[in-house]
Structures are given as structure tokens and as C-alpha cells.
Amino acid sequence: MTTTPPQQDDESGESDLDSALVTARRQLERAAAHVDVDDGVVERLKHPTRVEQVSVPLERDDGSVDVFTGYRAQHDDVRGPYKGGLRYHPEVNADECTGLSMWMTWKCAVMDLPFGGGKGGISVNPKSLSNDEKERLTRRFAEELRYVIGPTRDVPAPDMGTDAQTMAWFMDAYSMQQGETIPGVVTGKPPVIGGSYGRQEAPGRSTAIAAREAIDYYDKHLEETTVAVQGFGSVGANAARLLEEWGANVVSVSDVNGAIYDPDGLDIGAIPTHEEEPEAVLEQDAPETLSNEEILELDVDVLIPAAIGNVITADNADDIAADIVVEGANGPTTFAADTILEERGVHVIPDILANAGGVTVSYFEWLQDINRRKWSLEEVNKELESKMLDAWKEVRTEVEEKELSWRDAAYVVALSRIAEAKATRGLWP
């Protein structure tokens, strides 16, 4: 499998790979058809509040200067500050940030978090930067965005190409300029400076919880369930480990190089994650190896695509043999594939619900920062479990009452909350 960027533009009409913006607008329209919502509200939600574009000059280690373009898209803040990641990737652009910020609006709303959606980043290849350059670039970016972000305005987080250290530099630069330590300006920081325990594992944990609930809903038992996980990275490895711990039989996992498969079950705890030891999956003992296409087509109960976007497409949707797909990655299923899976009776638990543990624990981190009170890991995991179950029940009600797919139901829950907030606040002036 070739590594595709997570969001491909489908406006060429040559493929069914979906761009984030196209997907976000399409989902809004689909959800609006099932919700009693004013057309004006839908119209407002099609547009971001603002997309900030900034130039970020960087003095390279050799003394030369390069200028990069940075963005922060702020989609909607009717329910609270904008929230979403900052990515460093060559493909970052205004449209992608806008689409992903809309996605964050739905994700925060479906989880009932008091946040709206934001997303940003710098169009840069992070691998081309030394550590010092990355620090200087991040500090300057924080300064350029200083007037549009803040703990009650817009709260960034790590994303592709950025990590806890990046957030630490960002928080430090912002705090130095503001004249006081303001940990709540970003989440995903190291715990020693206000980060939350359990933040890194949270998207994998929520994906596992979503899988567990779906397995139960469809009258299966975890102990008799087989699972395949594409992408043994942060999300995939944490989801796989938890599901194994809870009794499921994880028979196949993959990384960018390929998959290992044992129909009797793998020893998941023994496989280092992408973070611990990059690309170690194929080095493990297993009876069979598979390609990254083949793992998607395994006859398992639950398939968890947790690597990159657009991997289940119109080309392979007919070959997906799993009964349940739980989206650990963002946007792994294209719109065309989604329709095919729905017609075939494959239940897809959408990304905005399944991997929302990340932003949910970011919310817990923000609360801890504002209250200056640290939570234990047990507290974080207990609260995450409770938030996930609440969201699951809300979405399940829509699935049952309106006979919707899980994806449409999740968007209906999100849109209903946002629309009600907009209607209650009204349009000013």
C-alpha cells in the first residue's frame, strides 16, 4: 500500500477519495435532512467563522531565513472555545484546515464537550526541520496566532507532525508574551507542565470502548470476537491492547510495512507500538503475513482501520468481510464506500464518536489546567468511560428511533446540539 496523504481532493472527479471540506459539508447536509433545523443555521455552519493565515519566518541553523505559511481555521464556537489540532505537514492548506475544523465541531458536539471546532498548522515537512528549528518555528507560530487563540478562545492540540513537546514550546511562548503561565492555552502537553495523564492513550481507549459497545449491541461476546487493526500506532495499538485485555481475540495488526495474522490470536502486549519502536510489526513471530489491503478484507467480526484516511473506498468496500467497522483513524471510509457498506449491512461506528477520546481527555486537561487540580489516571479513565457511554447512548437512540446508520446518527446528535445552541443564542446583531 502506498502512503496517501490523509485527505485527498476529490473535486477532480477522478477518484472517490474525499477531502475534509467536501466530507464535512456533505455530512452537514445529510444530518440536516433528519433534524428540525433552521436553514439559516445550516447556512451559517457551512462557513468557518474565520481562517487566519500567517507567515512564519524561521532562521535556519545555517543562518538563512525561510518563510512558511501557517493557518488556523475556526469553524464555530457557539458551544465554547474552538478546539483542534495543529499539524506540520507539507499538504496543510486553508481548505483542509477548514474542513478538519468543521469535523472538530461535530466531534466536540457529539461528545457534548463545551467546545467548537478549530484546526490549523504549518505547510512544512517536519522531517526537514532540526529540533532547534522546530522549536523556533513553533514559538514564532504561537506569537503569530496569539491574538486569535487563548484558553477561552481557541485551544490547539497536537496533530500530525506535532507532539507534546511542540505543545510545551507553544504554551511557553504564549505564556512568556502574556506575562503569566497559561497552561490551558493548549492541550496534549507533557503532564509535568499541566498535561493530563491518559491523554495519549485516549483515542485508542475510546476506539476500544466503541468497539466493545458495538460488539455487545450486536449480541456478540467479546471472548468470541475476532478483531483486525490496521495501523499499530498510537490509536491502533492502544485499542488492540485494551480489546485483548478485555478478552477479544486480536488476530491481525499492521503497520506501514504490512500485517501479521494468526487465526488463533496474536500476543498483542508483546508487540512494540510505532512510538516505542517504529515499524516493528513484521518482526514479530506469526504464522502469516498479509498486505495492508488484505488485512482490511479479513473475515473478522470487527475491523479497526486506525492508520490513515481513505483506505476503505468504492474499490474494496464489497470485499470488506467484517460485520462491524470501528473507525480509529479520521476518515478511513470514503463517502462512496460508506454507502456500499450500509447497503451490505456492515455497521460502521464513525470516527467522530470512536476516536473522540483524544479531544475528550483534552477537555479534561483543560479543566485540570483552569482549576489547577491534577486528576489521577484512574479518574481520567473513569470520566472518559462515562462520557463515551453517554455519547454512545445518545447516538444509539437516534439509530433506533430514526433508523439511521451510526454515522448519520452521530451527526444528527451533534447538529441538534449545535442548532439548539444557535437558535437559543440567536443571531447578533
Please tell me whether residue 310 binds ligand NAD under the rule CB under 6 A: no
Residues 326-385 that bind ligand NAD (CB under 6 A): 328-330, 355, 358
Please tell me whether residue 306 binds ligand NAD under the rule CB under 6 A: yes
Residues 243-302 that bind ligand NAD (CB under 6 A): 254-256, 274, 279, 292
Euclidean distance between CA atoms 211 and 346, whole angstroms: 14
| Minimum distance of ligand NAD from residue 134's CB (angstroms) | 17
- Note whether 76 and 116 are within 8 A (CB): yes
Taking the least distance from each CB to ligand NAD, the nearer of 296 and 419 is: 296
Cell of 369: 489546567
322: nearest Cα among 236, 410, 247, 226 = 226
Taking the least distance from each CB to ligand NAD, the nearer of 105 and 292 is: 292
Beta strands per DSSP E along 278-335: 288-290, 302-305, 324-326
- Stretch near ligand NAD under the rule CB under 6 A, chosen from 141-149, 304-312, 367-375, 376-384: 304-312
Question: Where does residue 350 rank: exposed (0-12), middle (13-18), buried (19+ CB within 10 A)?
Answer: buried
Taking the least distance from each CB to ligand NAD, the nearer of 120 and 203 is: 203
Cell of 357: 477520546
Task: Give the contact letters, 131-170, x = binds to ligand NAD (CB under 6 A), - = no.
Answer: ----------------------------------------
Residues 175-204 that bind ligand NAD (CB under 6 A): 203
| Minimum distance of ligand NAD from residue 108's CB (angstroms) | 13
Cell of 422: 444557535
349: nearest Cα among 369, 372, 383, 323 = 323
239: nearest Cα among 423, 75, 39, 388 = 388
Taking the least distance from each CB to ligand NAD, the nearer of 32 and 198 is: 198
| Minimum distance of ligand NAD from residue 107's CB (angstroms) | 9
Catalytic residues, by residue number, are 119
Euclidean distance between CA atoms 106 and 354, whole angstroms: 13
| Minimum distance of ligand NAD from residue 54's CB (angstroms) | 23
| Minimum distance of ligand NAD from residue 233's CB (angstroms) | 2
Residues that bind ligand NAD (CB under 6 A): 1, 3, 6, 203, 230-236, 254-256, 274, 279, 292, 306-309, 328-330, 355, 358
